[in-house]
Amino acid sequence: MTFSFSGSFISVIGDLYAGGTCNGTFSIDGTVSNFTSAATSITQNQQTLWSSSALNEGNHTLIYTASSCNSSQSFVSIDYLLYNSSSTSVSGATSFFDDRNSSLVYSGNSNSTSGIGDFQGTITGLQKGGSFQFGFNGTSVQVYGRVDNASVGVVDASFSVDGAPSVPFTAVTSNNVVHNKQFFASRTLNPGQHTLIVNNTGDNPVWVDYVLVRGQTSIGGAAPAANTSGSSHLRLDIVIASVVGGVVGIALLSFKESPDKQSTTSRTGIGSCFSPSSSKIRSSRYTFFSIRSCQQFCRASPTHPSTIPALSKFQHP
């Protein structure tokens, strides 16, 4: 995997699978470091696989090369790359707000907790009667979260923008926990300031993972260090790159919901490991490059060429 970016830090986030460990190398601008995936007895999602040291601000190239795995059942999936960027976003791009962002103001009974499979490893639950208010500048807003398994029951919530009649949401739980579930998507709004209010109208928790805002104005500021606990606002332009046998195609992407037992996204098997979907989230703080289907680096094709180019930018539909 080869990825070019402009910034001063990059981190690789992905999934670890039970059954063995894999070896490889990460290289930044020709400086190579060895990598061995951590051994685990269960699948672990949203794990930081590797992080660079501080880099000089500018253009860099990251190369990952898989060498071997000690089991035919072991592989590593890279879900996304997180890197800082000093560039500002154009008006009309989409912004990402994690559940811990200070723009989400919670009221009533709510609790934030860690969760494997949740974005950046955290999620906030609105308990019965709980709510949050979110002020934003943009032309649309979407809310995503997690739906627990069938032992919990039905999840009910309501969503209102600028005092309009509430839009109800009901999720009937399934056998598996579902991540990246879209709870709400607003109509197109007039450009400017708006307020979203979300209420838990049922008896079971409403788990909020992140909010997307289209049309957010540019935000400046220096890039923080990696793994900050409170800075979770990301700027994004969403594209996908499908890489099959070294052939690259570019198309638009929307996020996929995914149950726990199928990991965070649908996965291809050994021998067809390199068919990623990618979404590039651009930020004055961080850029988030998400490989949404997967890139599995496994014994069957340790040196399979997979190059992610400097992608053309598309507006999210």
The model's pLDDT over 142-197, given as tens digits with 9 standing for 90+, comes to 999 999 876 777 899 999 999 999 999 998 777 888 888 899 999 999 999 999 99
Residue type, 218: S
Give the contacts of 3 (CB within 8 A, at least 6 positions apart): 61, 62, 63, 81, 289, 308
The ranges assigned to domains in the chain are: 2-87+221-226+238-308, 94-214
pLDDT on residue 93: 53
Residue type, 210: Y
Cβ neighbour number for residue 270 with a 10 Å cutoff: 15
Ramachandran sector of residue 46 (left: φ over 0; alpha: ψ -120 to 50; beta: rest): left
pLDDT reading at 88 higher than 60: no
pLDDT reading at 222 higher than 80: no
pLDDT on residue 216: 57
225-249 pLDDT tens trace: 333 334 444 443 332 222 222 222 2
**More confident position, 302 or 201:** 201
pLDDT on residue 66: 81
Mean pLDDT of 274-283: 30
Q: How far is CA 41 from the centre of its chain?
A: 24
**More confident position, 120 or 235:** 120
pLDDT on residue 161: 98
Band of the pLDDT at 37, cuts 50, 70, 90? confident
* CA gap 156, 207 in Å, rounded: 11
pLDDT on residue 106: 97
For 122, 154, 156, 206, the CA distances from 203, given in Å and listed in that order, are 22, 8, 8, 9
pLDDT on residue 249: 21
pLDDT on residue 41: 82
pLDDT on residue 11: 84
Select the highest-mean-pLDDT range: 43-47, 97-101, 106-110. 106-110
pLDDT on residue 94: 63
- CATH class name, domain 94-214: mainly beta
Q: Secondary structure of the chain in the HEC alphabet?
A: CEEEEEECCEEEEEEECCCCCEEEEEEECCEEEEEECCCCCCCEEEEEEEECCCCCCEEEEEEEEEEEECCCCCEEEEEEEEEECCCCCCCCCEEEEECCCCCEEEECCEEEEECCCCHHHEEEEECCCCEEEEEEECCEEEEEEEECCCCCCCEEEEEEECCCCCEEEEECCCCCCEEEEEEEECCCCCCCEEEEEEEECCCCCEEEEEEEEECCCCCCCCCCCCCCCCCCEEEECCCEEEEECCEEEEECCCCCCEEHHHCCCCCCCCCCCECCCEEEECCCCEEEEEECCCEEEECCCCCCCCEECCCCCCCCC
Mean pLDDT of 48-54: 89
pLDDT on residue 226: 34
Max CA pair span of the chain = 58
Please answer whether residues 201 and 155 qualify as being in contact, where contact means their C-beta atoms are separated by less than 8 angstroms.
Answer: no
pLDDT reading at 256 higher than 50: no
